[in-house]
Structure 1
Amino acid sequence: MKFVNKYLLLVALIVITLLLLFVHNKGFYKVLNIPLDNNERILGLSDASVGGDSMMKVSTNAEGTSFNCNIVNKFQWPFCQLQIYMIPFNEQDKNSLQHGFDISEYDELFVDIKYQGPKPELLRLHIRNYNPAYTNLEVDSNSMKINEFKIEANAYKTKQFINLKDFYVVPWWGSERNLPTELKLREFSNVPLIEVLTTDHVQEGELTVNINEISFRRLYISNENLLFTIIAMWLAAAAGYLILQLHNYRSNLKQARLSNNRLIEIMDALKLEKAQIEEMSKRDTLTGLRNRSGLSLHFTQCATDLLEQNTPFSIVFIDIDFFKNINDLYGHNRGDDILVTFAQIIHSNIRIADKLGRWGGEEFILICTNSTLNQANSIAEKLCRIIQQHLFGSDLQVTASFGVAEMYPDESVKDFIERADKALYKAKAEGRNQVQVSV
């Protein structure tokens, strides 16, 4: 029961962590979408209203709103402007705009806007704020505060993220009004209107702007808090687990003191078993020779002797020729017998100081300690003849190919082995049953 509970708690912890990471990646947001398909709340305005000749046409559909504008440089600052009212707007009752949305609780603005027209591909976003402290539309039609951000309409393949902190109050709006400093700062407490308009120095010509989405988002839980929660949760779980383990260890220690002698015997047996397992892990189970792991210590020692004492160090790669054919013709049992016999022949004809190992399959490696390339080559030639002359059983003659290399002082073990391996492949490529050296 304790086992089940412990792992059920671990699974629950992992699931909760994955859910929190998913939330961290996708976000957990409150979203305010601005409707873009309501003709009654979307108006177009151009400099034609102040004596210019620029013309503007607005259209809406289920996908959003677009406007087409023909900029004519007659007015000093030609413009086209789309006004998106967030509340029902009665032009005869301008005071209706005082009941806008408080978006100060939101962190981000997402816009999906595409632009076609003269360069540069820049637009301005205005978030207009109504505040009775400075707004009087009957006297000043421009008295709603202008929070502005300039966007590159086509800079993003999908919608563009804008932090509301990046908006700023346009300087001329504040300079024209005698307001205290705190009222000249950006403000989003009562927003009835959002505007999309051309830049100050828009080029003459025709342009089209498609607005597919405008929405505000607030992150319920910050990414930092989510990560802190995950870390705190795991630390608390680890602390609880450690406390539980400490309690268990104390209980076990009391039991261990009662059977100390038995514990010592068990520890000795475990040490012996560990030593046996380690030795077995370094041996090839079929031939009894060292495997790659068992040879690694000898490689290291020989490489160290080469660097520190200038003791030469060579290796010989040995591969039984056409071993696959032997397995196919005589079966794998006979093939295993040949591998064992092959290993015994090689082992009985090398020096005591040399180390023979099975590299894998029908491939063997001989570490020739304190041996130059010529000395190792002589050993390989001798072994090649011995193998060729030996009959494996009463009817089978086996040959082998040999690749020899001597390690350079500035060479890595990996490169050293690769050179010997290439020499072996050269011996096989040039007819097998021969020795090739890498110089």
Structure 2
Amino acid sequence: MLEPLKIGIAGFGTVGSGLAEVLKSGGQRVTDRTGRAIAITMVAERNESLRPAIEAHGASMTTDWKEMVANPDIQVIVELIGGTTVARDLIVAALKAGKHVVTANKALLAEHGHELFALATKSGVHLGFEASVAGGIPVLDSLRGGLAGNRIRSLIGILNGTANFILTEMSTRGLDFDTALKMAQDKGFAEADPTLDIEGIDAAHKLTLLIQLALGRYYALDKLPVTGVTVVDSMDIGFAKEFGYAVKLIAQAKEVDGKIEAGVYPALVPQDYLLAAVQGSFNAIRFDGDAGPVLLHGHGAGDLPTGSAVLADIMAIARGEAPNILGFTSTSLPDAEILDLDAAVSKHYVRFIVPDQPGVLRDIAGILADNEISLHQVIQKGRAEGDESVPLVFLTHEATAEAVHTAMHRADEQGLTRGKTMHYRIL
């Protein structure tokens, strides 16, 4: 039996304590699968009130992460403090010290992955980040392992559980956005400041990492088009249902003639797609490649699912596997040639609020035709008592988003609309 693999954990919050519990309850199973025990030796944590819980797991506590990095007995540093400043300093120091690193920090890797992946490769150590994308779903390991022989041409996913919970509640209960968000916060699915989740930024962090592993290209975070769920109106969720669609926050990337079309945005998903059935705080990701479609589904966050994903990376180190950061021989991937999302072709949903007058439908349909947008379905709803305006909804055949936006702007210019026009892509 090999000597125990000694690890240090930076941060003993939800994921850190979850990892400790997984090791405590499944320690023998881990040993059976790796041939050695995994022991938490030290935890770096600023909250002194957590000292008894940490020591109960047989670990010492320090308030200075540098002490943990300097400890010669510790072979693996698990970074779970989050953020992009102190966490970056910690990981850089650990990699330079020749220690393996495991992290769940997607924001840090989305912004500084280039630098950190190169440093890990230079140091000849692991930089594991399975837990950074979709929590307990083994997405990255699948891309580097079982799907490695496939040429992946596209990926599409629901990558943020908070946003998906909100849209699920708006759809199933008829709630407005603010009420659904408050429910997500009350249930612990959303932070007090939910900006990263509801504005699509969290999903964007994950998508940039998936593009690297699945498509072998580096797509800079600041070039990725991102729209969150704050723009979604419950009226459109209701109309989408009538047409046979569910509204989901989608993270998508695909190859189109050698370019990468990618973005995060609310979209209409046909109800017979498996993605449309993903409810609540669950995540799901579909890959399309040589082997056909593959869908992975499960919890995208939480103490035990994320702790389990962190442990999977630690176990790979315990087994003595060679570092395999991105699944390619090099971590210096070529930059993606980007296809502007407005130039991408898809079907579209467009909802106008218009005066209830003869000829308005004809005029707007004419504007759409002038922009080479062919119509698939149209519905006009009756007005409420005392309201002089009505919703007018178009589902189009394939067209560019640029053409749709031009038509929307033209309808506004001609005074045909009352209120904000809504637009969603259709998968």
Q: When the two structures are superposed, what TM-score results if normalisation uses the length of structure 1? A: 0.17
Between Structure 1 and Structure 2, whose CA radius of gyration is higher?
Answer: 1
- Highest RCO, 1 vs 2 (Cα 8 Å, sep ≥ 6): 2
Q: When the two structures are superposed, what TM-score results if normalisation uses the length of structure 2? A: 0.17
